[in-house]
A and B are shown apart, each in its own frame.
Chain A
């Protein structure tokens, strides 16, 4: 093995690709070679580093210095100053001028613990970081029921938004004695504002694979599908590569670790439908149909893909499992709150200094997340509201900034954690406009299966358009609430049941905006 004095980790993700990161990396390597540094300094491609610039971001080890928005023009200076003379280039460093340190983000990471540290395209890097230890432990020392007991003990709840206890979900399927069971990974992630699963998969694809393997072993499935968004090109490529490597190492396929356990994993690409995030709609899509949700019960755990028992889990949920099995549930319980153990990955966007992702303990307050992990508000802007949980989430005003972010605490405010998206608005932005845009989204994405949702989303959008133009009355606002409540009670699936959340929170928390824009 070759040793280097220093490692430069370059984040290759959708954002940096758009900024030309591949050309940047070759230019950086050339410049290092020109200065005879190729043997001393290694340039590595990795996943998201845990902070987001507008372009190319790097971390330099062993100093652990973060650079953001570096361009090809900056390379000569960077190499001369930092790598020849050992003087970090301050004007490119993250948060030097502000009280913000992105290294905060490296604390308490479970799901993202390898992200931005290992090469996501190299299985050896994952194994070197303790990867596949959980799988080995499960297959050699644990019975399937032990895996389920451990997951139950960890208190892990589904991270796709519904927060159903994961171990309990698995236990419904594991007890069924049938020849074929499936694991399906929901990687369709269509919630506006949410891209955490993309970053989890881009940064550490093997961790997801290990989570799938542990789930399949626990419930007795021999086939797994990853249903992934068609737009996620980089994710798809990295997962395909990871699956290929796992087969080469005998971690997938027949008789894994000579334990008698068999598993195949296949990727299926989605084609653009928000409703396919609903587990039964996703199954319909996998079978080659329109993504219309199915009646429940029977639940997929009993009767799912091709009528076989099927566990459908979100990416983040499964990515938590390798840690739980390798380190044990007791270790996992040290994170988060008593009711909601563990961490949560958030995507923060809008008017904050550092939009991007962070992984924090369950129960951290909204204020902490915005101030400590996203660097606070963008300079010159004041906080007005945050849309938490995506389009199907709630709009929270500043008086609720200290609300604890976990499944149970948010319930007290009729709010949800949802998919973990936090969209921050400044004082100049209009809640009416935001709500209009949310309702336009729902109108577009209703699958059309049931009337309350199909007609309701259309009516809500029309009413909101009228109000937004100044032609509405307060009766129209009340009518919107009535329609959304009716939809909540009568819609077939969560899509139609959801619009009430943003509508009610907007009207209750920002009544003045609706009073101001409507005719008396």
Chain B
């Protein structure tokens, strides 16, 4: 599967970031495994350690398996001023995990990020591809309940 993704791109190093995006997006656990890294290294003819260097540099990538739903809460100044700390506390309680952890049922991974570019509606979080703005503790509870309900 990794090889098929690679082959969509010309075997040049400048396609590395795009290939990693696609591998992570198609993986059910939203991460880039060591097997994937080896396949990409062979295809692009670059050392695996270069790929790890890139992987760990950018915040959108993960080398650890993640949950079905990745929550990325913004903690940068505009969201912080509008109370992102309270939202984080609420999310930790609701999910029973700390930042960087995945819930036992594999449904949610909680992450922080620095700016999603939707600052007019701070505080903001992204769950997978969807943006949720103007968050309040109640709203967060509703959103999580809704996703949990839909998955049952």
Write the residues of chain A forming the contact surface with B, with a CB cutoff of 8 angstroms.
Answer: 14-15, 17-18, 52, 54, 189-195, 198, 229-233, 268-274, 285-291, 347-350, 355-357, 387, 391, 421, 423, 425, 429, 433-434, 437-438, 440-441, 444-445, 447
Cβ of B36 within 8 Å of any chain A Cβ, yes or no, is: no
Q: Which of B20-79 contact A (CB under 8 A)?
A: 20-21, 44, 46, 50, 53-54, 57-61, 75-78
Residue of A nearest to B21 (CB): A269
Inter-chain contact B119/A192, CB cutoff 8 Å: yes
CB contact under 8 A between A444 and B114, given known A233-B129, A268-B17, A349-B122: yes
B38 CB to closest chain A CB (Å) equals 17
Taken together as a complex, chains A and B put the C-alpha atoms of A445 and B60 apart, in Å, by: 13
CB contact under 8 A between A18 and B132, given known A288-B14, A347-B119: yes
- Binary contact readout B128-142 vs A (1 if CB under 8 angstroms, 0 otherwise): 011111100000000
Q: B77: which of A192, A229, A286 is its contact (CB, 8 Å)? A: A192
Report chain B residues within 8 Å CB of A272.
58-61, 113
Inter-chain contact B120/A271, CB cutoff 8 Å: no
Q: 5 shortest A-B CB distances, which residue pairs?
A: A271-B58, A192-B76, A288-B16, A272-B59, A288-B13
Taken together as a complex, chains A and B put the C-alpha atoms of A230 and B58 apart, in Å, by: 11
Report chain B residues within 8 Å CB of A433.
80-81
Residue of B nearest to A231 (CB): B116
Report chain B residues within 8 Å CB of A229.
117
Report chain A residues within 8 Å CB of B118.
14-15, 195
Cβ of B115 within 8 Å of any chain A Cβ, yes or no, is: yes
Report chain A residues within 8 Å CB of B57.
273, 290-291, 447
Inter-chain contact B81/A15, CB cutoff 8 Å: no
Report chain A residues within 8 Å CB of B20.
271
Report chain A residues within 8 Å CB of B60.
230-231, 271-272
Q: A54: which of B18, B61, B134 is its contact (CB, 8 Å)? A: B134
Cβ of B97 within 8 Å of any chain A Cβ, yes or no, is: no
- Binary contact readout B76-113 vs A (1 if CB under 8 angstroms, 0 otherwise): 11101110000000000000000000000000000001
Report chain B residues within 8 Å CB of A195.
117-120
Cβ of B7 within 8 Å of any chain A Cβ, yes or no, is: no
CB contact under 8 A between A355 and B81, given known A269-B18, A274-B114: no
Q: Which of A194, A195, A286 has the most B CB atoms < 10 Å from its CB? A: A195
Report chain B residues within 8 Å CB of A347.
119-120
Residue of B nearest to A429 (CB): B81
B48 CB to closest chain A CB (Å) equals 14
Residue of B nearest to A447 (CB): B57
Report chain B residues within 8 Å CB of A350.
78, 81-82
Report chain B residues within 8 Å CB of A270.
17, 58
Residue of A nearest to B58 (CB): A271
B83 CB to closest chain A CB (Å) equals 11
- In the complex, 28 of the A-B residue pairs with CB atoms within 8 angstroms, ordered by the A residue number, are A15-B118, A15-B131, A18-B121, A18-B130, A18-B131, A18-B132, A54-B121, A54-B134, A190-B114, A190-B115, A192-B115, A193-B76, A195-B118, A198-B117, A229-B117, A231-B117, A269-B17, A270-B17, A288-B12, A288-B14, A288-B15, A288-B54, A289-B53, A350-B78, A356-B120, A421-B78, A423-B119, A440-B75
Residue of A nearest to B50 (CB): A289
Q: B76: which of A14, A290, A441 is its contact (CB, 8 Å)? A: A441
B72 CB to closest chain A CB (Å) equals 8
A509 CB to closest chain B CB (Å) equals 16
